[in-house]
Structure 1
Amino acid sequence: MTNNAKGLALTSFGILIMSLESLFIKFTTISPFLFSFYIGIFMFSSTMFTFIFKDKEHIKTAFKTSLPFLIICSIMMGSSNIFFIIAIKTTTVANVVIIFSTAALFSALFAYLLFKEKMTKNIFIASIFMFMGLYIIFSDKLEIGSIKGNIFALLCTVLFSISFVLLSRYKEMNRVVLTAFSGITLSVIAFFFTDDLQIDMNTLFIIMIMGLLITPISRVLIGNGAKYISASEVSLLMLIETIMAPIWVWIFLNEIPSIYTFIGGSIIVITLIINSLYTLKNN
């Protein structure tokens, strides 16, 4: 197997596993903040054990060279995770993952606004179609809760995109250390919005599977696979989650998106596919 084929296989499988996260969030009936509190603890535990038993030097390096940056990005990514969980709880999974799929284009926009990085013509054109798709999704006459869910999904995407741009400028930051601290930041933020930390064992078991298995395994597979393929290929493969997450929820929970989501989502997905293929061809 060639390195490119290996990268495609690892990344695809990792994204397929990651697409189950929305289903696991939907399976629970607890508040988004209580879910965030426990998932953050499990995210922190699963990643920190790696360093405790293997690479302690990465933690020391992160503290010595980039502590302020680590704190800023951890807060942004922790907040992004909370917004994602709230969005999944309050609107359809299809809406959330389609809105989140625009993160790559938002990243290009923020890179231009924050650091004056050149925005190519294809990104500019793709952004126009992206906002058209988002406008159609947001124009759906949903109940108030679903509209809030769309807004939280957009906030999640914006914060994630900004943190991604910052990370691209600061490549020395160890991503696994950042994931660990994002987890504990997620729990700390959620703690202040949670009145009661009591949780039943069935719900805790669901969160444990997601926090200790699904989330870390998917991220490791994607991280390893991304070493062998280009960023454009990764962006294209991320559409697996956009397509599969709503399918899992439809199969197990019979959640059907609205016609506005189908129309707006189709515009966004086709735009992302064309943009990724165009970028691959140029590279």
Structure 2
Amino acid sequence: MSTPMSDHTKGLVITAIGGMALTVDIPLLRLANGEAWSILLLRCGATVAATLIIWTAWRLLGGRPPALIPGRVGLAVAGLYAMSTLTFMTAVYNTSTANLVFILAFNTMFAALLSWIFLKERPRPATLVAMGLMMVGVLIIVGDGVSSGNLFGDLMALASAFFIACAITITRASGAEMGFTALIAVVAPFLVAIAMVGQVGYKVEAPGWILFNGAVVMPIAFFCLATGPRYITGPEVAMFYLLETVLAPVWVWLIFTEVPSRASMIGGSILIITLVGHSLWQLQSGRRRRAGATVRHPV
């Protein structure tokens, strides 16, 4: 029988997988080398196709897959993920990368605040400390390179972080399985992209990269990150989104030979050490609670 802590452990593992998958999103977008709406068209189209194939195969094999959109709550979450996709892609092409990753890091703070206000889930002191340390890491990474950027792009990045935090909070409150909901939600951006490509034209030099991103990487990332809130708190889920902040520059360095700055290496180390340390603390804390709750029978 599943215990609360075993569920928590499951949530940490699932969310970590999703966070790691998400780290290659930006490098794959760059490898495709195309116009923004064309990239969005291929990315979302591949994700929708992969989602429907996986869901249908699951049913045909005799399983009971989660609903694509579980009721009105699922519809609300789908809308939030759709808005997050649109605002994120808009921000990618309208502000600097430094501004983007810095602002997206506020996802953690938004999730903690929303969970505290609406779910009465007061973060544990250790989680608050971890969040603070991770924000320090992000500030170090981008602090010496943040430019003024474009106000519109910055606002889009802020909106994307807020929409994700709202989706995480609602999922946590409902307890519903939203893994497929986050994936099918890209239907809306896909339709918008079709309309825009019809006006500005299609341009993608290496479509294979973006198709792989949409058909493989995004389903893994979105499904896992959207499933995580069923088992762990919103702030904990949001912290795994920060993996992209530190690891995406590493992949860009390996692929495009863009050497990370000293600040990026220092800030990234803080993020990784804090995230791993917090997760290990959560696991150890759960073991102690289970051990204390064990009923000891007289011999």
TM over 0.5: yes
Number of aligned pairs? 274
> Are the aligned partners of 2:133 and 2:271 in contact in 1 as well (CA < 8 Å)?
yes
- Give the superposition deviation at 1:257: 4.2
User: Which amino acid is 2:256 matched to?
Assistant: L
- Which deviations, in whole Å up to 9, do the C-alpha atoms of 1:93-149 show, x marking residues without a partner? x77567656645542332002222222222333333344445555644544448876
Q: For 1:130 and 1:237, locate their aligned partners in 2 and report how far apart those are by CA, in whole Å.
A: 11
Q: Which residue of structure 2 aligns with residue 169 of structure 1?
A: 173
- Higher mean Cα deviation, 10-19 or 206-215? 10-19
User: Which amino acid is 1:166 matched to?
Assistant: I
Task: Please list, as runs of the form range in 1=range in 2, the aligned pairs for 1:27-66 lying within 5 A after superposition.
Answer: 27-55=31-59, 66=71
Q: Which residue of structure 2 aligns with residue 212 of structure 1?
A: 215
Establish whether residue 110 from structure 1 lines up as the match of residue 114 from structure 2: yes
Q: For 1:52 and 1:251, locate their aligned partners in 2 and report how far apart those are by CA, in whole Å.
A: 37
User: Which amino acid is 1:36 matched to?
Assistant: L
In structure 1, the residue corresponding to 2:186 is in which secondary structure? helix
- Give the superposition deviation at 1:239: 6.9
> Are the aligned partners of 1:44 and 1:179 in contact in 2 as well (CA < 8 Å)?
no
Structure 1 residues 53, 101: CA separation in 2 closer, same or farther (over 3 Å shift)? same
Structure 1 residues 244, 188: CA separation in 2 closer, same or farther (over 3 Å shift)? same
User: Which amino acid is 1:91 matched to?
Assistant: S
- Give the superposition deviation at 1:247: 1.8
The structure whose RCO (Cα within 8 Å, separation 6+) is larger is 1
Q: Which runs of 5+ in 1 are unaligned?
A: none
RMSD: 4.4
- Which deviations, in whole Å up to 9, do the C-alpha atoms of 1:174-220 show, x marking residues without a partner? 421x0342120222344566563632464433322221233235566
Establish whether residue 272 from structure 1 lines up as the match of residue 272 from structure 2: no
User: Which amino acid is 2:163 matched to?
Assistant: L
Q: Which residue of structure 2 aligns with residue 282 of structure 1?
A: 285
Q: For 2:156 and 2:141, locate their aligned partners in 1 and report how far apart those are by CA, in whole Å.
A: 14
Task: Please list, as runs of the form range in 1=range in 2, the aligned pairs for 1:1-283 lying within 5 A after superposition.
Answer: 16-55=20-59, 66=71, 68-89=72-93, 90-92=95-97, 100=104, 103-104=107-108, 106-136=110-140, 139-140=143-144, 142-145=146-149, 152-176=156-180, 178-190=181-193, 196=199, 198-200=201-203, 202-217=205-220, 222=224, 241-283=244-286
- Give the superposition deviation at 1:238: 6.9
User: Which amino acid is 2:29 matched to?
Assistant: I
Structure 1 residues 181, 13: CA separation in 2 closer, same or farther (over 3 Å shift)? closer
Q: For 2:29 and 2:102, locate their aligned partners in 1 and report how far apart those are by CA, in whole Å.
A: 17
TM, length-normalised to structure 2:
0.68
- Which deviations, in whole Å up to 9, do the C-alpha atoms of 1:67-88 show, x marking residues without a partner? x322321121122223333444
Structure 1 residues 77, 239: CA separation in 2 closer, same or farther (over 3 Å shift)? closer
Q: For 1:73 and 1:121, locate their aligned partners in 2 and report how far apart those are by CA, in whole Å.
A: 29
- Give the superposition deviation at 1:46: 0.8
User: Which amino acid is 1:275 matched to?
Assistant: H
TM, length-normalised to structure 1:
0.71
Q: Which protein shows a greater Rg? A: 2
Q: Which residue of structure 1 aligns with residue 297 of structure 2?
A: none
